[in-house]
Amino acid sequence: MQLVPKTKLTPEFDPILEKIILDVGGMKCAGCVNAVERQLTQHPGVKSACVNLATEVAVVESETGAVDADALAQRLTAVGFPTQPRKPNGTVADEISTLPDPAERQRKEMRSSFRQLAIAAILLLLSGSGHFGNLGSSVLPVLNNIWFHCGLATVALLIPGRPILVDGWLGWRRNAPNMNTLVGLGTLTAYVASLVALLFPKMGWECFFDEPVMMLGFILLGRTLEQQARGRAAAAFRKLLALQPQVAQLIANPEKGGMGSSSVEIPAEQVRVGEWVQVLPGDKIPVDGEVVVGKTTVDESMLTGEAVPVIKQPGDMVTGGTLNQSGAIAIQTTRTGNDTTLARIVALVEAAQTRKAPVQKLADTVAGYFTYGVLTASVLTFVFWYFFGTHIWADVSMSGGMEMMSHATHEAPHSSLLISLKLAIAVMVVACPCALGLATPTAILVGTAMGAERGLLIKGGDVLEKVHKLNTVVFDKTGTLTTGNPIVTDCLLIEEMGSKELHSPLPSTDAINRVSAYSLIQLAAAVESGTHHPLAKAIQQEAQQQQLSIPEAVEFHTEPGLGVSAVVEGKVVLLGNWDWLSWHGIAINETAQQVAQNLATDGKTVVCVAVGGALAGLIAVSDPLRPDAQSTVDKLRQMGLRVMLLSGDRQEAANAIAKQLGLDSADVIAGVPPAKKAAAIQALQNEGLGTRDWGLGKILPNPQSSIPNPQSVVAMVGDGINDAPALSQADVGIALHSGTDVAMETAEIVLMRDRLNDVVESIQLSRATFNKIRQNLFWAFAYNTVGIPLAAGVLFPSLGFVLNPSGAAALMAFSSVSVVTNSILLRRLAHHP
């Protein structure tokens, strides 16, 4: 049976499921989010939908070709949420191209909010001046006229309040009541009750036309502040979007004139792979590519967060969106459009903002039924106070603008109606699902955008929650803790091992006996020419430094994590570890084993070389630690995390590296090939955690506890290439950017700066962001837990205090503003989690 190579499928390139991104307008609270998600998931072919209130984006997963994005957009638009789909090139569908883009829509909404707020503020000032008594009437007598206040309330409802009333009615009609439904019912009820009192004065009712004016004023003030705060929260992400170049200077005939030939300006998205593009000093590089002509310095801070420019010359790779600073260059395109590094970063950051933390599920569940619950509470409040409360506590007078004379209940039964009505209105207005809906997305929006600024790509709220629970961090050795640029330090022939010093310097070509007319290094370099492993690179570099010719090798075979073989001049040459040679039936004498063990004890990786079925010699390779490896490990342990080392190298070599880092041998897992690293991570996840020895960072058994120990929550840090299965298996996969493609697809946190210290920074940022989410959710739940009973009059019997409708509106507006503002404060606290 012939084996067909399998290609790893990722969410970005899954042939079964596709993602549709929609820009959704008209969402005001968590109830709206729930309504939009329900509309999307009910559409045939849709597998899942996730909606973000802060960014007004919906991500829909469906079977490929089963769902029309335009049909989804039209469905949402029809039920009151103006929507447009994003096409692969970033444009909208032709048939709905009349809709403004999201940024323009937000600007228009902001301008409209300011206009409505200005009108509401004037009406609020005029309405409130009536409370100044003689002072107001002496300046403008009409301020004490009840018909004037009736007119103010009418204008407030018709102009600044009209969008709220209309949206609230539409929400009610489509069986998805939202915050505007509650506010609209409250203001209309107060207005109608006051109008009845004005038209039928004999009923003896009180007119409170100032209440709807003040309610609308406070609510509009809160929403305007909230919009501004949300704009600030999204500023970093908009900055990331703005980095995407729009145009490119295409060199039409590079084979004729090179960079000096004429160029033509075209949209960057129209550049094709393989074409040449000219980039002048001061221009953004429009696509990913390789420098073919010229030399310059490039500002890559948008990608890595590093302010120091990087020198680029022919053969170097450049990234779209980075800034060319000093010289004119020509680049040959390797990636365009949505395949560029920047475009994929933008897509990852945006997708991260729609991935919800599990802690948000409770908030979403509550928000889905919130409006119905509030309406029920409002009705129960009215029933209780009208039929029971005002009779039980008839001698208590109300404060906060609601007066009740000591025997009003008996002398004027209508007072019970007004009192009960005002309390019911306050309950409707004080409740705020907005805070619940904004708690998670605003914090994730700020956190992920901040991470992108610093070269830390965190893929979503669920990742943040898992990072918060981490207790173990496992590092791959080669290319992660080490530089990934090893060098050959020793080259020993099997005949020399008994007579030469075990750690002699690297012998010269003349000092090495010939094997089939070629030196050991030459043979090894020939075999390694068929692989791209860091050890292969070290051996080939050594051969080049000695200016040795490389013989031709054929019939390459590689076994990841074990070794490689090839045929050189008719003889089979094997390079690899003990297991690789043993599997091929090659005997290893005790002297060679002792030499290899001594080399490994010094932290060197030993490569065995066999020629024609017999061991020919050993090559030792050393891969130095990264400069920041020690500080990274120390900081992680100070944060209370267990730090471990996972390596395919021999136990002695792995222990030597661990010793340099101050790790205990119990925290070293060695001799694990890439294919089995995922199983090693899984075994570690299933391991119980006992008493933690913080000094050594090891786990000790806890014999005094009969309670099963909790499982390890493991983060795996790797280079994103050979470690892909382990990164996927770990609770949190953290990949250095050296393996860009696989890292972005497999890991949940990608470190774009390829700097080990960023492991610490990413965990700190994740913890700080998740703490903000918990603070926001606590405030949102606590606010409603306290606010609703307060508005229902729970303190009225004991303290005579009640929250009037306008005060309830002010508190409601404040809750949303406070949640968003708390998220923005993450920018100050991220460095001190």
- Arithmetic mean of pLDDT, 354-358: 64
Q: Look at 707 and 643; give whichever has higher pLDDT.
A: 643
Q: What is the CATH number of the domain that holds 251?
A: 2.70.150.10
Q: What angle do CA 333, 338, 342 make, to 5 degrees?
A: 80
Mean pLDDT of all residues in 754-766: 88
Whether 419 maps to a domain, the answer reads: no
The phi, psi pair for 162, rounded to 5°, reads -60, -45
Say if CB 816 and CB 220 are below 8 A apart. Answer: no
Q: Is residue 219 part of a domain?
A: no
Half-sphere CA count of 226, side-chain side, radius 13 A: 25
Structural domain of 309: 247-341
Residue 517, pLDDT > 50, answer: no
Model pLDDT for residues 58-88, shown as the tens digit of each residue: 888 887 778 888 888 888 888 888 888 876 5
pLDDT digits (tens, 9 = 90+) for 564-590: 888 887 888 888 888 888 888 888 778
- Between CA 374 and CA 445 the distance in angstroms is 29
Mean pLDDT, the chain, integer: 75
The answer to whether residues 564 and 614 belong to one domain is: yes
The residue among 248 and 362 whose pLDDT is bigger is: 248
Residue-wise pLDDT tens digits, 695-711: 323 333 333 333 334 56
**536-570 pLDDT tens trace:** 888 888 888 888 888 888 888 887 767 888 888 78
> 589-593, long-range: CB within 8 Å, 24+ apart, which pairs?
589/494, 589/615, 591/497, 591/498, 592/494, 592/497, 592/618
pTM: 0.66
Question: Which residues have CB under 8 Å from 576's CB, separation 6+?
Answer: 559, 562, 563, 564, 565, 607, 608
Query: Taking 60 as the threshold, does the pLDDT of residue 754 lie above it?
Result: yes
Range from 55-59, 666-670, 674-678 that averages highest in pLDDT = 666-670
Inside any domain, residue 167: no
- 375, two tokens: 């309406």
3-state SS, residue 734: strand
Rounded CA-CA distance 118/123 in Å is 9
Tokens matching residue 319: 């990234």
Is residue 491 domain-shared with residue 458, that is, in the same domain?
A: no
Residue showing tokens 């005997």: 587
Domain CATH for 534 = 3.40.1110.10
The CA distances from residue 492 to 520, 546, 560, 616, 687, in Å, are 9, 16, 24, 9, 42
CATH of the domain at 738: 3.40.50.1000
- 572 with 654, same domain: the answer is no
The per-residue DSSP string of 57-106 comes to: EEEEEEETTTS-HHHHHHHHHHTT--EEEPPTTSPPPGGGTTSPPHHHHH
Domain boundary, last residue among 341, 370, 399: 341
- Please give the radius of gyration of the chain, using alpha carbons only, rounded to the nearest integer: 35
Mean pLDDT of 504-526: 56
Say if 211 falls within a structural domain: no
Residue 106 included in any domain: no
Residue 737 lies in a domain: yes
What whole-number distance in Å separates Cα of residue 147 and Cα of residue 155? 12
3-state secondary structure of 610: strand
SS3 713: coil
684, two tokens: 């570690």
Question: Which of 193-197, 253-257, 634-638, 770-774 comes out lowest in average pLDDT?
Answer: 253-257
Q: How far is CA 512 from CA 490, 496, 615, 632, in A?
A: 12, 9, 15, 41
Distance CA 578, CA 585 (A): 10
**Percent of the chain's residues with pLDDT above 90:** 4
Statement to judge: residues 639 and 612 lie in one domain: no
Look at residues 622, 654, 669 and tell me which one is the last residue of a structural domain: 622
Please say which residue of 29, 55, 88 terminates a domain: 88
User: How many Å apart are CA 306 and CA 415, to the nearest integer?
Assistant: 69
- Report the distance separating Cα 316 and Cα 55, nearest Å: 36
Q: Is residue 49 part of a domain?
A: yes
Q: Provide the Cα torsion 131, 136, 137, 138; round to 10°.
A: 150
Q: How far out from the chain centre does Cα 313 lie? A: 34
Q: Cα–Cα distance between 344 and 579 in angstroms, integer?
A: 40
Which stretch of 41-50, 130-139, 234-243 has the lowest confidence by average pLDDT?
Answer: 130-139
Q: What is the DSSP string of 557-594?
A: EEETTTEEEEEETTEEEEEE-HHHHHHTT----HHHHH
Is 319 in the same domain as 297?
yes
Do 614 and 636 belong together in one domain? no
Poorest-confidence range of 194-208, 271-285, 387-401? 387-401
Q: Which residue has the higher pLDDT, 101 or 347?
A: 347
Residues in CB range of 721: below 8 A, 6 or more apart? 479, 738, 739, 742, 743
Mark whether 515 and 584 lie in a shared domain. Answer: yes
Strands 288-293 and 317-318: antiparallel
Report yes or no on 357 lying in a domain.
Answer: no
Please tell me the distance from the alpha carbon of residue 178 to that of residue 185, in angstroms, as a whole number. Answer: 11
pLDDT of residue 738: 58
The dihedral built from the CA positions of residue 521, 522, 524 and 530, taken in this order, carries a sign that is: positive
Cβ density class 170-181: b for 16+ within 10 Å, e for less: bbbeeebbbbbb
Q: Are residues 754 and 724 in the same domain?
A: yes
The CATH number for 32's domain is 3.30.70.100
Give dist(CA 210, CA 248) in Å, integer.
59
Number of separate domains in the chain: 4
Domain shared by 469 and 596, yes or no:
no
Same domain, 549 and 590: yes
Are 34 and 53 spatial neighbours (Cβ–Cβ below 8 Å)?
A: no
Tell me the catalytic residues.
Answer: 476
Point out the least confidently predicted range of 20-24, 170-174, 470-474.
Answer: 170-174
pLDDT in tens, 129-179: 655 555 455 556 677 778 888 888 899 889 888 888 888 888 788 777 777
Say if residue 756 is in the same domain as residue 716. Answer: yes
Interatomic CA distance for residues 408 and 388, integer angstroms:
15
Instruction: Based on the fold, state whether residues 678 and 582 are members of the same structural domain.
Output: no
